[in-house]
Amino acid sequence: MNLENNLNDKQLEAVKHTEGPLLILAGAGSGKTKVLVHRIAYLIEHMGVSPYNIMAITFTNKAAAEMRERVERIIPNVGSSIWVMTFHASCVRMLRRFIDRIGYDNNFSIYDTEDQKTLIKRIYRNLNLDPKIIKEKTAIRAISSYKDELTSPEEALRQTNDFYDRQIINIYSEYQKALKQNNALDFDDIIVKCVELLERDEEVREYYQEKFKYIMVDEYQDTNNAQFRLIKLLADKYKNLCVVGDDDQSIYKFRGANIFNILNFENVYKDAKLIKLEQNYRSKANILNVANAVIKNNKGRKDKSLWTANDSGEKIRVLEFENAAGEAEFIINEIKQKASDYSEWAVLYRTNAQSRLLEERCVLLNIPYQLVGGVNFYQRKEIKDVVAYLKILSNPNDDISLLRIINLPKRGIGASSIAKISAYASLNSLSLWEVLSDIDNIEELSKLKSKFSVFSESIEKLQEAKEKEESVADIIDFIMDEINYKASFLEEGTEEALARIENIEEFKNKAREYESTELEAFLEDIALIADIDRYDEDSKRVTLMTLHAAKGLEFPYVYMSGMEEGLFPSSMSLFTGDESDVEEERRLCYVGITRAKKELCMTFAKFRMQNGDMRYGTLSRFVTEIPSEFVQSNAKSRSRSDFRAGSYERKSNNNSENYYNEVYRKSIEIKKTSKLNYEVGDRVRHINFGEGRVIDIEDGAKDYKVSVDFDKFGVKKMFAGFAKLEKI
């Protein structure tokens, strides 16, 4: 392995610095994966470190697989010995082995978002809660936020006396009890329970600290507080912790990511070394100039600037269209005219709703495309049905899966019968399967025996097949035969029904990779597959995806559509008055720009239908932050900037509130609130930010500006008419 020929000076320095904490600030396209791969190889070949003692954590299965493959190319036959996997996969592996030490069975189920929603709905019914008062989505988001902070229901209750918060915490408490009863974990729990295991069990903690003497974490800027705690626990003994990330690409605040994990790394680890990777190997110089010009407007960042030895390339194009339909028509028509390989082209947008017009145009022109971020294959009804049967075979106490299939196919089991066994199970702290298995001995349920016997017999037959060590694919066939699933679709005879059969066959193709003894591994894999893992770079199709989904990818030709205030940056980031929200949007713009290798085109529309209303669009501030020498444009004068073909006058926008007053509000009719029903000091509730206390009210010319210190989101400044605050 000739490192000097393969790496630049900074990359080489990062590879050879093996002892103690290391922060690698890796700009977009700077070869961070290459550095991590060579660092692993260097530890093994030059430092004599056992592959068994190396851990590399990623955020996607795709990234983990790529890293393993590249290590294998350098050092054959070691990839399987190195712990290279995602946060969730790593924690699941540890929990499968040791979770019994914190009161769970090792065959626990993993609940996806749909399972989570189903469980929350059950809890609402049990507690007689009105989802109009506390929305189910609000409760789920709040629960996830508590878990990100490693806050238990008991701790949360101690931290508040607020009536509304206490109601949500009560839901949280019942939700956790139900998960435990079902021997199940949701995605957040996978991290939380692993942290709990390591904190509570000294023997387990010391085992993994000794095992993982060298730890590397990719995309460290995306870690939340729970993940931060997990890594710190694992690295505390040897402190050979190498984290790689880019604060300029921190875009998952809405998922709980804490940018301060990377910004404060050197404060947490006082002897940490900092290495910046600023040479970009991906993009033309002009694209990087644009990216640098935009991101430098953020204040909360570490100083760095991308550069490249590549040529300048074409200026980026900024194109104006009369409406969103015209924008979509132009983009897809141009791809049709220019593309020799559709896989080289990507269209990125801020919201999923923007894909519709692009999809319609692709269909009209017969252009193959892949939509990343659409309905997950594993969330389709027929797949969820089969998975529910598999989950019951692995974990019979999984009530959510059992309820999904108890009357599939139709067995004459009505809602009242299910309600009776559910009530009995709840009253006696039993799972539904425990009740059904012992129904002969339960006098008050004896009349229901005949209704449930067919289902019980089906499950027992399938359990016998599993015990015979049939393959996962064979077990799926047993399920299909037992419930006559395919036949029902064939009888239906529609294209949709036939597509469902094809989906099941494709599902079996995945299952054929696993032996019977690997049923739990199979269920884990499909539970942990993310949207980005479903991106197929060899598809020979145009890629349509959100800017969030595009992170980590690259394309020769990129369109960023919908570059308008209120769409990008989002209206929510503008309404809050919090500059950090706008900075997060700017980082997202930076991510979009740096996906492009050869050419970048930004588009915007004068008029766009949003939320049922036709909105007049003003040019995104992110576009106006680009120096004119890097741009060619067809745009006419657009509000705050004199945006002409090839040049425009740039104006300062350091004050986002002033900019909002001057430009964005021109596109929206704002009527001053006649009277406020709250005053400074009052407790109020916001639909998105929850509860907080009013700390200031300013009587502005157009509307009242209200500052609220929210319990979970800090101080936000907003216009009263938009905020629609409710006094508590």
Burial class (CB in 10 A: 0-12, 13-18, 19+), 230: buried
CB-CB neighbours of 48 under 10 Å: 7
Active-site position among 149, 174, 219, 329: 219
Active-site position among 33, 160, 167, 673: 33
Smallest Cα–Cα separation from 304: which of 315, 316, 295? 295
Angle (CA) 537 543 548, round 5°: 95
CB-CB neighbours of 479 under 10 Å: 22
Number of residues written out for the chain: 728
Active site residue 351: no
Alpha helices by DSSP H, listed for 182-271, are 187-200, 202-211, 225-235, 260-263, 265-268
Token pair recorded at residue 263:
């910004």
Element containing residue 511 per DSSP (H, E): helix 495-511
Active site residue 249: yes
DSSP 611-649: TTEEEE--B-HHHHTS-GGGEEE----BTTB--BTTB--
Q: Residue for token digits 């929510």? A: 572
Smallest Cα–Cα separation from 190: which of 137, 82, 306, 111? 111
Q: How far apart are CA 296 and CA 549, in angstroms?
A: 23
Token pair recorded at residue 629:
């020498």
Active site residue 693: no
Smallest Cα–Cα separation from 360: which of 371, 349, 351? 371
What is the three-class DSSP state of 41? helix
Active site residue 18: no
Active-site position among 221, 249, 546, 603: 249
Q: How far apart are CA 57 and CA 242, in angstroms?
A: 10
Q: What is the DSSP letter of 368?
A: -
Active-site position among 361, 510, 551, 595: 595
Q: How far apart are CA 392 and CA 398, in angstroms?
A: 6
What is the three-class DSSP state of 49? coil
CA distances from residue 551 to 181, 249, 589 in whole angstroms, order as listed: 37, 8, 11
Q: How far apart are CA 681 and CA 673, in angstroms?
A: 19
Please give the positions annotated as active site: 32-33, 218-219, 249, 595
